Structure 1
Amino acid sequence: MTDKWQGDWFTSSEPAIIGQLNTYDETEEGFSFNIKVSNDDPTPKSEDSSEFFVSVKSIGSGYAKKNGSIAVSEPGQNGCVLTFQMGAEGIEVKESEECADPELSVDFNHTFTPADTFVIDEHFLASIKEGKFTPDGYGIGTPIRTITHELGEPDAEIQRNEAFYHIYSNTGYGTAAGENTVGLLTVIRPEPLTPEDVKKLMGEPEQEGLNEMEGLYFYYYTIDDKYELYFEFLPEEKTLLRFHLRELKLM
């Protein structure tokens, strides 16, 4: 297990616990994070109530200071502190007593693991021309209902920028607000390619530069005047963090 904390981490357990931990802006001192865990099995509002609700617990923006394989968050307004421990399986999170909420049937005490690594193979170049990443994968334009029917509930669901992602293993299927078909594909856990590796595969990028909003360096390609392909790299490590495919938006 790498000692790098930055990335997208997931947890799921029976009967209906799903959670995601996103760590970003990592430095030698610490990292920023957001965390959300939900129990999608509806819980009665009270013992005698016929009304139910879904328990959701989240921290929208936090910061944790690192000390070796341990990181501790700065206290929240209610004194809630999270302790993160990097282990062989992933990041184990433990919450302090101040984080407890007796009205919720969910907590942050879970181990979050990275998605399986996506390896770009010899079929990749042909597949992206068809709007997908693998020959047998789901492509752009696929109804989300088809994916959930065949694969079941997603490992996690993430709102990022203006897209809502259904995460399965190493791939996110993104839909825009009000849409029910896939408009954006994202690999969130690719093999750690360098910019030079991507150039050998794809050729010189049509555009490249620093995305100042996210602090990532990007390569941009168009695919047969139909799709846009973005590779995003960690600028200091010079390794691939994720890549996206979507329909080409003509001006």
Structure 2
Amino acid sequence: MLVGCQIGADVKTSAGLPGQAVQEETIPEWEVPESEIWHGDWLIPETSPIIGNIIIYNETEEGFDFEISVENNVPMKSANSSRPITSSNGTSGYAYKDGLVAISDRDTYGCELTFQLGKDRILVRGSEECTDPDLTVDFNHSFSLPEAFVIDEYFVESLKEGKFTPDGYGIGNSIKSITDVLGEPDARIQRNEATYNIYSNMGYGTSIGESLVGLLTVIRPEKLTPADIEELLGEPEQEGLNELEGLYFYYYIIEDEYELYFEFVPEEKTLLRFHLREMKLM
């Protein structure tokens, strides 16, 4: 399903390309990724006027499920607009892997997305059928992994205060206070029945109708193993396979106030991301 919209206009239901000519880009052969794992959260670099992300999950040898979204907060002109507007667009589907390239199923409009995996980035290109000249955003971007979050000696004590770092924002802070200081997020991700404002490797989540942060996430931690986490926090309360996303998880209760989830890529047993949330949200 593809959904695009522009502020002040009717909702569009097709893929999003603004209609301008696109300079074709490919990832050079020498840019070899460290691994062929696509799973994870990939962001448009913060230097771009467009914000967006790809979520890739349920990865197998055959392919993966994906969700992709893009938007612009700064008004721009589309091919069909006479005044600057803001637009957003998103879609989800399944892509089949062939080495470092993956191609999505075509949707009902014939739109097909091609993904190319490079070193810490994914390049996306849409077919001609993806064009929508009414919108100011498209899927033709390079999506990168943010800098890795390093768990330090203050991490465990910070968890008890609903934070990941001593001087960072935490559970109970207002989203407005965060955006007032940090500005617009690099991306917005829907996960765990919440919306996360993503800044680099960190996300601040609010449930529907809430203005205070109730969930924290790190979308790119350093590559730790389950053994590393046990050395840090002891044996988990629970562990097992999350069938929804195909990830292996460790679950901890922190001070009877917070729940902490670590999610690992099953094949490599490396940490993919982790979340902290208030127990009252259960």
TM-score, scaled to structure 1: 0.91
Per the TM alignment, residue 249 of structure 1 is displaced from its structure 2 partner at its CA by 2.9
Query: CA separation in 1, counterparts of 2:47 and 2:148?
Result: 24
1:33 aligns with 2:70: no
Could you tell me which residue of structure 2 aligns to residue 56 of structure 1? 88
Residues 57 and 246 in structure 2, CA contact (< 8 A), matched pair in contact too:
no
Q: Which has the higher strand share?
A: 1
One-letter amino acid matched to 2:59:
E
Could you tell me which residue of structure 2 aligns to residue 157 of structure 1? 188
One-letter amino acid matched to 1:35:
I
Larger RCO, structures 1/2 (Cα 8 Å, 6+ apart): 2
Query: CA separation in 2, counterparts of 1:72 and 1:151?
Result: 36
Per the TM alignment, residue 217 of structure 1 is displaced from its structure 2 partner at its CA by 2.2
Structure 2 counterpart of 1:170, from 160, 182, 201: 201
Structure 2 counterpart of 1:8, from 41, 46, 67: 41
Query: CA separation in 1, counterparts of 2:105 and 2:137?
Result: 21
Query: Mean alpha-carbon deviation: is it higher for 79-88 or for 149-158?
Result: 79-88
Could you tell me which residue of structure 2 aligns to residue 231 of structure 1? 262
Per the TM alignment, residue 150 of structure 1 is displaced from its structure 2 partner at its CA by 0.9
Structure 1 15/169 Cα, relative in aligned 2: closer, same or farther at 3 Å? closer
Structure 1 124/82 Cα, relative in aligned 2: closer, same or farther at 3 Å? same
Could you tell me which residue of structure 2 aligns to residue 110 of structure 1? 141
Per the TM alignment, residue 91 of structure 1 is displaced from its structure 2 partner at its CA by 0.6
Query: Mean alpha-carbon deviation: is it higher for 40-49 or for 62-71?
Result: 40-49
Q: How far does the alpha carbon of each residue in 1:70-120 deviate from its partner, in whole angstroms, 9 at most, with x for none?
A: 111121111111111112351111111110001111111100001211111
Structure 1 14/222 Cα, relative in aligned 2: closer, same or farther at 3 Å? closer
Across the two proteins, how many residue pairs are aligned to each other? Answer: 248
Residues 44 and 141 in structure 2, CA contact (< 8 A), matched pair in contact too:
yes
Structure 1 counterpart of 2:110, from 79, 97, 102: 79
Residues 15 and 41 in structure 1, CA contact (< 8 A), matched pair in contact too:
no
Query: CA separation in 2, counterparts of 1:14 and 1:196?
Result: 37
1:188 aligns with 2:207: no
Residues 30 and 71 in structure 1, CA contact (< 8 A), matched pair in contact too:
yes
One-letter amino acid matched to 1:56:
S
Q: How far does the alpha carbon of each residue in 1:113-145 deviate from its partner, in whole angstroms, 9 at most, with x for none?
A: 012111111111111111100111111101111
Query: Mean alpha-carbon deviation: is it higher for 34-43 or for 95-104?
Result: 34-43
Per the TM alignment, residue 225 of structure 1 is displaced from its structure 2 partner at its CA by 1.9
One-letter amino acid matched to 2:88:
V
TM-score, scaled to structure 2: 0.81
CA-atom RMSD in angstroms: 2.1
Residues 209 and 217 in structure 1, CA contact (< 8 A), matched pair in contact too:
yes
Q: How far does the alpha carbon of each residue in 1:12-64 deviate from its partner, in whole angstroms, 9 at most, with x for none?
A: 56774111111111111211111111122345796567xx75311211x2111
Q: Which 5+ residue runs of structure 1 have no aligned equivalent? A: none
